[in-house]
Amino acid sequence: MNLPDPSALAERAHSALARCGAEWPTGNLTARTPITGTEIRTLEQHSADDVNGAVAAAHDAFGDWRTVPAPIRGAVVRQLGRLLSEHKTDLAELVTLEAGKISSEALGEVQEMIDICEFAVGLSRQLYGRTMPSERPGHRLMETWHPIGVVGVISAFNFPVAVWSWNTAIALVCGDTVVWKPSETTPLTALACHTLLRRALADCDAPRGVHQLVIGGRDVGAALVDNPQVALVSATGSVRMGREVAPRVAARFGRSLLELGGNNGAVVTPSADLDLAVRGIVFSAAGTAGQRCTSLRRLIVHESIADELVARISAAYAQLQVGNPFDDGVLVGPLINDAAFEAMQSALTAAQSSGGTVVCGGERVGDTGCYVRPALVRMPKQSEIMHTETFAPILYVVTYNEFDDAIALHNAVPQGLSSSIFTLDQREAERFLAADGSDCGIANVNIGTSGAEIGGAFGGEKDTGGGRESGSDAWKAYMRRATNTINYSDQLPLAQGVEFG
């Protein structure tokens, strides 16, 4: 495997940051690249006191920002979108360097930021409330939506910029201010995006304090979660992390928006177009080296087609080129670190202990970085290891006979993010989307589990946390609702016919 010189990667990162105008003091936080497992540069990280200062500054800025008309707030997001487009290549290069995504996926992630900016600009003129009929003559009922305050965003390494943009673009047009804590694994992408947003704010004469960046580990995240001036904590990460965040935010009566584990499944029925299914399955399972929250991890296949489908997937896996994500033709880049590889090996061992057979993959590639071939595992039944999400490219295959059994197998895990079914039978497709079908927040027909568009609300149920980000009416999570009663008569009738006096 041909990997670049580590010093060349460091230089690429420095150049991309410089083109974005980013500057940050050096310190004791080391930014590494999974491409070679080596250091890119060091950065200064924040303390808990720094976090509280950033929240205070954002809270002060909120006092002015909330009174700016929403379409004017949208102009800031429009300018951010322009700057993201201008620096699309630079940002994608940083995503590849820090997260290990192949170039097309990195460019796609930056495009997702541009798309959500366009969505949010339109939303800035559509923060609608309802008008309802009153039971009292001469009265009108209506609802209005107002900014909620400071939004704390905690993002994960696997989508280092897209998830931030989902939250930030929507929060800004809603009139909120933002404090962002990125993964300490991907601080450089965060620094570049923060710099571009600060520039957009300055270009539009908006307060600089509207957006704050805090870099550090769990202590920095804890300070953000516990700060009473943070009205909403939007956190993306593991179920373990969510179980810590949710009660701490609730204890101070704050709001939380959680995007946690996936462990997604797909059902393949006898009527499925297998050519289509194989393409959707392979990208969903092996794309981003299996490190998406929407990655496909469980395949539930009708027993009549299981052997053929497994053979086709195995053949497709054999053609996947694993290596330097900057190289043309490479489809699978590195895992984020050695811990991810060790978790993958532990999961494969557990699967084999439960009677599973590794059809292909699972072995490490090369001795630099953390590259691995996607694994395909045939399981006799859905065992305990399949109920646990492993953030690595493992695809478990189990079979079913009756369609009801397929639904039961699919829904038997604690997580409920994304799901799909491959079928040409309309009844099966509609059943999968019905109330007694998939229990996930995302349910697809004849496409894989990954690759969500920004127009729809993104999020899941059960251990996934229940939050919704991005499109549809997800904006309501970032605002507070007020119900208003207006009496335009000269009488004062009481509701429910109550008489007093």
SS3 call for 397? strand
pLDDT score at 177: 98
Helix 187-203 to helix 70-86 angle, to the nearest 10 degrees? 130
Tell me what percent of the residues of the chain surpass a pLDDT of 70. 100
For 451-501, write each residue's pLDDT tens digit: 989 999 999 999 999 999 999 999 999 999 999 999 999 999 999 999 998
Output the pTM of the full model. Answer: 0.96
Catalytic positions are 259, 293
pLDDT band at 2 (very low <50, low <70, confident <90, very high): confident
Whether the Cβ atoms of residue 323 and residue 2 lie closer than 8 Å to each other: yes
CA–CA distance, 190 with 179 (Å, rounded to integer): 12
Q: What is the largest CA-CA distance in the chain?
A: 88
Whether the Cβ atoms of residue 91 and residue 260 lie closer than 8 Å to each other: no
CA–CA distance, 127 with 124 (Å, rounded to integer): 6
Mean pLDDT of 344-357: 98
User: In sequence order, which ranges of 21-87 are alpha helices (DSSP H)?
Assistant: 48-65, 70-86
pLDDT score at 501: 81
Chain center to CA of 177: 20
pLDDT score at 208: 85
Burial class (CB in 10 A: 0-12, 13-18, 19+), 271: middle
For residue 205 the two structure tokens come to 């004469």
Whether the Cβ atoms of residue 410 and residue 432 lie closer than 8 Å to each other: no
The answer to whether residue 50 scores a pLDDT higher than 90 is yes
* Residue with the two structure tokens 């940002």: 91
The answer to whether residue 65 scores a pLDDT higher than 90 is yes
pLDDT score at 1: 82
Burial class (CB in 10 A: 0-12, 13-18, 19+), 425: middle
SS3 call for 184? coil
* Residue with the two structure tokens 């399955």: 281
Structural domains in the chain? Answer: 6-260+465-482 (3.40.605.10), 264-445 (3.40.309.10)
pLDDT score at 446: 98
For 100-149, write each residue's pLDDT tens digit: 999 999 999 999 999 999 999 999 999 999 999 999 999 999 999 999 99
The answer to whether residue 31 scores a pLDDT higher than 90 is yes
What DSSP designation does 228 have? T
Please state, rounded to an integer, the average pLDDT across all residues of the chain. 97
For residue 20 the two structure tokens come to 């974005």
